Amino acid sequence: MATTDVSICSNALLLIGHGTIASFTEGGAGAEVASNLYPTTYENILSLHRWRFASAKAQLSQLVADPLNEWTHAYQLPSGYLVAIKTYPDSDFEIYEDKLYSEQATVEIDYLFKPSEARLPAYFIKTLEFALAAQFAIPVTSNKSTGELYLNMYLDQLRKARYMDSQARPPSAIVDSPFTEVR
């Protein structure tokens, strides 16, 4: 069965002792809380780390209209864009709304995007479920200690998930420097 936003929320609700949900619109406290808190929680956790599974590269499309003020070129950011990581060539840039402004004639970008839930690795799904359980606990069950329990489980799982995700990128080599050779 493919992972969906509803299945992730349903699992989080199960963790706190609530029944499962089949949709966000079915009514009841669980579905209402899940539909309101899920989107921002998911995007927030994606933004906390340079997740390899949510990283992408793109050459940006230059816009026809000249940008206002100090920038020479404006580019359209990709759909699903969340956070810029790096531009190529490495240069100054600013982001306004859904556009990137730069002095460069062409811009390629490394960025974080919002993948579909079906593409999420298990370690991230579990992290998200614990985070949601921590947030759902008080509004759904009125149990503060359950919320604190899942907050601690979330923080522990987040640390493990970051480690697991870091294995998708080899460590950078240490570059020799004349300043370290002097020692």
Mean pLDDT by runs of 10 across the 183 residues of the chain is 92 94 93 96 95 96 87 93 93 93 94 95 97 96 94 97 87 66 57
Are 44 and 122 members of one domain?
yes
Question: Residue 67: its pLDDT value, please?
Answer: 84
> 128: domain range?
5-50+116-165
Tell whether 153 is covered by a domain: yes
Question: Residue 183: its pLDDT value, please?
Answer: 55
Tell whether 179 is covered by a domain: no
Tell whether 159 is covered by a domain: yes
Are 125 and 77 members of one domain?
no
Q: What is the DSSP letter of 168?
A: T
Question: Residue 27: its pLDDT value, please?
Answer: 87
Tell whether 181 is covered by a domain: no
Pinpoint the alpha helices (H) of the chain. Answer: 5-15, 29-47, 122-141, 144-166, 178-181
* Domains: count for the chain: 2
Closest CA to 9 of 26, 44, 28, 33: 33
